[in-house]
Amino acid sequence: MMLKTIVDAGFISLKKYGIEGTTTRHIAEIAGISPGTLYQYFADKDAVYQAMGERFTDDIADWLQTEIPTLVQKSIEALVEAILYGLRDRLHDHDGLYLEFARHLQRFHRAEHMARIERVLLTLAAQFVFRNPHLIRLNASSVPAMLYIMIYGGTQTIIRYLSAPSPYFSFEQLVTGLAKMVSSYVAAELR
């Protein structure tokens, strides 16, 4: 329970004070504990950030995992759209604390965190291909690259868009464009 409280406080502090302005004292104060108590659980603020990254990626991976049965029944464009809309919703969860964290994801990026999301997406891709046998003709060596582009290119594009003060096009247009990009790539690979 205390770990969750401290990690929650880390998200709040990050949003309130920023990445550089956040201190362990801020996190402890928000958590309602002394800095000494915080240090019983975490060595420093970077360790709190590490735990925040684990929570963030676990929540995203858990959400994706539960959606696989529904997602595999969609067309490629609808699948990508559902993932992107779902990602947007996850980023807005917790009063936008996840979006603030995601804006700094490069700093917090740990390969082991993103590996869980990648594994879930590979499972999704495998099940999607199984339900759509015509996709077996895809060059197996291109699938990991396509997933990588979608995971990192798509998420960074969504994060940047959601962080912009006044984007000049709608979120729906962005999602449609990314979905068409993926489906066009797949169609080209199948020719």
DSSP state of 137: G
Please report, rounded to a whole number, the percentage of residues in the chain having pLDDT higher than 70: 98
What pLDDT, on a 0 to 100 scale, did the predictor assign at position 48? 96
User: Which domains can be identified in the chain, with CATH numbers?
Assistant: 1-43 (1.10.10.60), 49-190 (1.10.357)
Q: Which range, 3-7, 89-93, 134-138, has the best average confidence (pLDDT)?
A: 3-7
Average confidence score pLDDT of the chain: 91
Say which residue, 87 or 147, is predicted with more confidence. 87
pTM across the whole model = 0.89
Whether 111 shows a pLDDT value over 80: the answer reads no
What pLDDT, on a 0 to 100 scale, did the predictor assign at position 109? 62
Per-residue pLDDT tens for 52-82? Answer: 999 999 999 999 999 999 999 999 999 999 9
Whether 142 shows a pLDDT value over 80: the answer reads no
What pLDDT, on a 0 to 100 scale, did the predictor assign at position 62? 97
12-18 own/partner pairs: CB under 8 Å, 24+ apart? 12/97, 14/49, 14/52, 14/97, 14/100, 14/101, 14/104, 15/95, 15/96, 15/97, 15/100
